[in-house]
Structure 1
């Protein structure tokens, strides 16, 4: 089975995947790289430059793996699938072809958040953590998990976070629907406050009783779903070679 590469979203770093650690077979532990500007990784000179991002992430995103892009990480993975050798499969987790949707986070709401972030970045970041926790079965517990994992300050440089908000507004992964560069699966929480199921492609798979942060609220179900999808991609690849 191909290795999983787990790619985090906006305002969090690779620590978001820690609750899944106990649920992988030892030989199949995924890689969890940070995006540039997050954690201890140096920021890009131009954080919104996708070509520079592809160069910086090339070693962490091999073609013989399955990339799992969560939230903004999904949009970035989709963009990099056109700039790097395409992976064996791509899982879009908690993300549709676009972030903004009238039935979830519309463009006006995202614009308001961008302006709030420019005025008060840390307070806005904490608000976002609460916002994305809101669809979980226990939002308070999920928010406490997030703050225990991440601490009290944003885990990325402010220019990186600002560029990420612009990417949430601008990036489009529609190319994954009619003519994807690799097999694609769409996976989402049934209670996700940031996503509209009506905006997802046909065949999207739901994770019951979870919101945007399924790795915190439903780690066992999410780990099993990702392992199954990686196995499906591997089987499909084997059949194509025959």
Structure 2
């Protein structure tokens, strides 16, 4: 059995991955085992005492991130998964979906833009989260349809408390894996939608797999293509 672990990003819990469920191919005897654990603080999972403590995060997630699996981290989930490489046995492979070695980039989302967003979040967490969910969908073929699908999956209630979401914004600002990923302990693949509005053009162009007609949320707009590409990595490319 080949294992894939899907890890969600900021403001979204594991329900985000449901559109992929009907599209996983079965390419060899044993097939795929796909798990979608929530991060601490999301859905019904208890919040960490310090949501920004990576060592505590590693301890909480150790049972969900086996070394024999391929870890797929979307958006902030990719940054967190890369950070856990320093604390957990490395997986068969790491997929950074919609994320580079860092979040902020002068050609993409700037540090100044993130500071402004964090300030708005402190004033009104729910409205700012709702704005972000719409904003990240600008690159999808039909942003309105993608937004309706996202709300159908997640509902209107935030998936995590404000303290956990605020910590995630801090991690987006702080985590920078350029040095770590220059010599990673496992194979790393970068997957990006060709119209991802959160990635700088250089990161989109350098991705190992570029998803046509998709933006930051290909699990909503291109679930079949995404499932097929992730399965190919797990079944055919990962050692």
* TM range, smaller chain: over 0.9
Which residue pairs with 2:2 in the alignment?
2
Q: Contact 1:82 / 1:181 at 8 angstroms: preserved in 2?
A: no
Gaps of 5+ in 2: none
CA distance in 1, matches of 2:204, 2:156: 33
1:165 to 150, 158, 169: 169
1:150 to 151, 154, 172: 154
Q: Aligned runs of 1:27-42 on 2, under 5 Å?
A: 27-42=31-46
Q: Aligned runs of 1:1-242 on 2, under 5 Å?
A: 2-25=2-25, 27-199=31-203, 202=206, 204-234=208-238, 237=239
Q: 1:203 to 1:218 in 2, by over 3 A?
A: closer
Deviation at 1:201, TM superposition (A): 8.6
Q: How many residues align?
A: 235
CA distance in 2, matches of 1:11, 1:110: 15
Q: Contact 2:25 / 2:231 at 8 angstroms: preserved in 1?
A: no
| CA-based RMSD | 1.4
Deviation at 1:102, TM superposition (A): 1.5
Deviation at 1:176, TM superposition (A): 4.4
Provide the secondary structure at the position in 1 that maps to 2:199: coil
Provide the secondary structure at the position in 2 that maps to 1:164: helix
Q: Contact 1:177 / 1:201 at 8 angstroms: preserved in 2?
A: no
- TM-score, length of structure 1 as denominator length: 0.93
Q: 1:203 to 1:143 in 2, by over 3 A?
A: closer
Q: Contact 1:176 / 1:184 at 8 angstroms: preserved in 2?
A: no
CA distance in 2, matches of 1:16, 1:233: 25
- String of CA shifts for 1:66-123, please: whole Å, max 9, x gaps: 0000000000000001110000000000000110112221111111000000000000
Q: Contact 2:97 / 2:190 at 8 angstroms: preserved in 1?
A: yes
Provide the secondary structure at the position in 1 that maps to 2:95: strand
Q: Contact 2:192 / 2:204 at 8 angstroms: preserved in 1?
A: no
Provide the secondary structure at the position in 1 that maps to 2:96: strand
Provide the secondary structure at the position in 1 that maps to 2:136: helix
Q: 1:203 to 1:140 in 2, by over 3 A?
A: closer
CA distance in 2, matches of 1:22, 1:165: 32
Gaps of 5+ in 1: 238-242
Deviation at 1:205, TM superposition (A): 2.0
CA distance in 1, matches of 2:70, 2:2: 6
Which region of structure 1 is more displaced relative to structure 2, 50-59 or 153-162?
153-162
